[in-house]
Each structure stands twice: as C-alpha cells, then as structure tokens.
C-alpha cells in the first residue's frame, strides 16, 4: 500500500470515530496489516489506558482493491488486565487509477461501507 492510500485511510478513520466523540490519531504499521490509535481518555476515567486497534484485510479485484479495516477498542484496567470489544468495520475501495492528483475524486478512492457501532 502506498503512503498516499495509508494517509487517506488514517485520516478517514480519524474522521469517522471523531463523530463518536473519540479524539485520536491513527497510524498504519509499516507492513500495512495493523492500525493503531493514540490513547485517549474517557470521562469519567474508568480505564488506565484505552485506544483503538485494528487489522486491515485486502481483497484485490481486477479494476479495484477493497481494503477493510476492522476496529476494536483495547483497554487496560487499573489492576493491569487488558480487554477489548469490537467497534466495527470500514471498507475502502481504491481504483487502479488512484494518484495524488485525484485524491478528492470519490471515483478513485472512497469509503465503500461502514459498520460502526454507536453507544
């Protein structure tokens, strides 16, 4: 995955979860199979640390690629235990003609579907 697609996915994930009141930044790992967010706080503070983590799945077709991001909450309790729960999936569709010149053109890259759980 090139850096332009990585940046687009990171920014779009950040935009989508900000609608839930989660203010965080995303980073896709160098190999391109995992995405993590910076830790954020809840009000009231009920966890020592909470962030979003996910896995990226790729499905390459003839004329486009589908990239599905499966996001989950991961939280650390004050006693050291760690748990998590699913937040949802976001699927991006990237066409073969995607370049820096057409980053705003939804024909070339866009959110194809999202299934994000709300509170």
Cite the DSSP H helix spans in the chain. 3-18
Residue 65 tokens read as: 């690629």
Number of domains in the chain: 1
Percent of the chain with pLDDT over 90: 50
Its pTM stands at 0.82
What is the sign of the dihedral through the CA atoms of 6, 20, 70 and 35?
Answer: positive
Domain hosting 41: range is: 3-116
Residues of the chain with pLDDT under 70: 1, 96-110, 117-119
- Distance (Å, rounded) from C-alpha 112 to C-alpha 35? 18
How confident is the model at residue 83, as a pLDDT? Answer: 94
């Amino acid at each position: 995955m090139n850096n332009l697609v990585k940046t687009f996915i990171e920014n779009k994930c950040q935009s989508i979860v900000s609608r839930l009141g989660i203010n965080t930044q995303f980073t896709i790992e160098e190999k391109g199979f995992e995405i993590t967010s910076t830790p954020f706080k809840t009000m009231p503070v009920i966890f020592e640390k909470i962030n979003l983590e996910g896995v990226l799945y790729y499905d390459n077709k003839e004329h486009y690629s589908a990239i599905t991001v499966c996001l989950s909450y991961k939280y650390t309790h004050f006693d050291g235990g760690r748990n998590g729960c699913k937040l949802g999936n976001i699927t991006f569709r990237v066409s073969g003609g995607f370049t820096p010149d057409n980053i705003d053109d939804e024909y070339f890259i866009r959110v194809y579907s999202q299934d994000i759980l709300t509170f």
